[in-house]
Structure 1
Amino acid sequence: MDLKSTCLVVGGSVCSFKLLNTILRFLPTPELARKKSWQWRNISTSLAHSSLSGAWAVLCFYLQPQMLEDLIFHHSLLSHSLVAVSTGYFIYDCLDVALNQPCKQSCEVLLHHAAVLSCFSLALTSRLYVGYCVISLLVEINSVFLHIRQLLLHSGRRNRQGTHIKAPRPSVTYSVISWVNLGTLLVFRVCTLVWMSRWLAAHSERIPRYVLMIGTTGLSLISITNIVLLHRLLMADFLSSRHNTSKDHERKPVSPE
């Protein structure tokens, strides 16, 4: 895929996710979520991207397992297209967040997206490290359950219905999603980022200094946000005896990513 085609795919991705977000305006929204309709649409759009990119990344490695042996040079049209589509999503989400959220609430997401975009842009323009970027998109498998959890919170489906006690028990659906979310977070976020950091260190002599700096900075920022995310989830769903629902209506934690 040449540079012009890549730009067309990225631009088409931006427009497609914007169109999806617009369509969501006209679809039924749970009553409780109507108070924060922008967050509902934003998280739903993110769920669509996570579902698409997570499955796409698995497919890339299933069809071309040899890409794991050479994450620098080896890639396919399918994997290159995946990185281009995800780049379009992150550009779209940056614009959506910047235009609809106060700076204090959006800086974490924007910082994360900036780190991802710098790495993805390098891969798209140089046609190098595409496989490494596809590895990072395995994180989106966890993001699927992370976003479903948030949608349950925004729709008021966290606790069992009909309970009138001070500490209502979580619904079966929410409990299952919470455990799956935690498990996939440990596997696809923590383990994946540890593996990526190890790979970067092992191949540091083959990588130009500026690329190493971009990769190290990006991984460091994403690792910090994942530690914060893990702490929030443990406190909200497993360690806290009292669940404060209002605290769980946060902006979607970052992903790349």
Structure 2
Amino acid sequence: MTTFFYFHETDVFPYRPISPIWSIIYIILSFIFFLIIDLKTKSTAKPKDSHDRNNNWLRQNTLLSFIHSSICSVLIIISVLRAPEMFDDPLSHINYFNYALVAFSLGYFCWDFFDCLQNSTSSTFAILIHHIVVITFLLHILLRSRNIGYALFALSLEINSVFLHARRLLRWYSPMSASANSKKSLKLYIDIGNYITFIIFRFGVVYYGLQQLYVQRHRLDPIVLTFTALSVSAIAILNVVLFYRLIKNQISRKLRTKKDKLIEDNVMMMDNHVILPS
């Protein structure tokens, strides 16, 4: 007869710790994967401006972030379909697929941390702080083999990141062969998806996470609870700032487009006045 050990008396699933050696293997493999992708895309992509190093790095970094968020989003959907029972108790549920997924993302954040560190500017300081918090949070989860479900909830924000990064990439790498109408339609779909996923994941999931932290506070160590609460609260504040900037940029872009259109119309009127006979 098998005897199951439960980490906490209220756990729904038995405690099945995974050896930390697996997390190290997955993290290293993920780090190498993004290192190779970075080198391959750099060798094939032509820089927009060879003299503008910061902008070229930002484009490359955004492309790698888009690749990570796209892969992570697909894997999260697969993980939910494979094990919907994790919603019964995300704190105690664990399997190798979800564990490897968290380690995969941790490997990416480690790579991105060093990439930002090598190309650091004043604007990357906030990203470095964010990555330190995320790396600490995910590493603690992997080493203890606990709280994997809520780690996946946190990583579900990457679903919105797909649209956030796609907005920039469309502006930088817009296909020349595509018509103006197809570009406009694609941009519209990305903007709609961006707002919908932002509200669902960056607001909804973060709110749910804070709520569950309060409800299940007795199941967490005081230090872990404090660190997690501060981290999620910081992310919530950053999401509000990000959403404000998103709307602000959207409005300013529309105003700028209308202004350019008005200037264009005035120029056409002036040209017609010169060309056409009176």
**TM-score when normalising by structure 2:** 0.78
Q: How far is 1:175 from its partner?
A: 2.6
Map Cα deviations across residues 220-255 of structure 1 (whole Å, 9 max, x no partner). 1211111111011111114664349xxxxxxxxxxx
Map Cα deviations across residues 93-127 of structure 1 (whole Å, 9 max, x no partner). 1111111131x211211121112111101110000
| Residues 33, 154 of structure 1: 8 Å contact kept | no
Q: Give yes or no for the alignment of 1:117 onto 2:135.
A: yes
Gaps of 5+ in 2: 1-17, 258-278
Q: Give yes or no for the alignment of 1:132 onto 2:145.
A: no
- In 2, Cα distance between the equivalents of 1:5 and 1:80? 9
- In 2, Cα distance between the equivalents of 1:220 and 1:114? 15
- In 2, Cα distance between the equivalents of 1:175 and 1:59? 27
- In 1, Cα distance between the equivalents of 2:96 and 2:118? 33
Match of 1:203 in 2: 216
1:182 to 157, 177, 195: 195
Amino acid at match of 1:202: V
1:158-237 equivalence runs, <5 A: 171-237=184-250
Q: How far is 1:30 from its partner?
A: 7.2
Which secondary structure state, in structure 2, belongs to the residue aligned with residue 61 of structure 1? helix
| Residues 139, 188 of structure 1: 8 Å contact kept | yes
Q: How many residues align?
A: 234
Map Cα deviations across residues 140-165 of structure 1 (whole Å, 9 max, x no partner). 111111111011223468xx988xxx
Q: Give yes or no for the alignment of 1:57 onto 2:48.
A: no
- In 1, Cα distance between the equivalents of 2:200 and 2:184? 25
2:60 to 38, 41, 57: 41
Q: How far is 1:17 from its partner?
A: 0.6
Residues 1:48 and 1:176: Cα distance change in structure 2 (over 3 Å)? same
RMSD: 2.3
2:163 to 145, 161, 178: 145
1:16 to 27, 33, 45: 33
Match of 2:96 in 1: 77
Amino acid at match of 2:42: R
- In 1, Cα distance between the equivalents of 2:217 and 2:72? 27
- In 2, Cα distance between the equivalents of 1:215 and 1:239? 36
- In 1, Cα distance between the equivalents of 2:199 and 2:88? 24
Match of 2:21 in 1: 4
| Residues 30, 107 of structure 2: 8 Å contact kept | yes
Q: How far is 1:172 from its partner?
A: 2.9
Amino acid at match of 1:227: V
Q: How far is 1:62 from its partner?
A: 1.3
Residues 1:34 and 1:189: Cα distance change in structure 2 (over 3 Å)? farther
Match of 1:254 in 2: none
Q: What is the percent sequence identity of the aligned residues?
A: 25
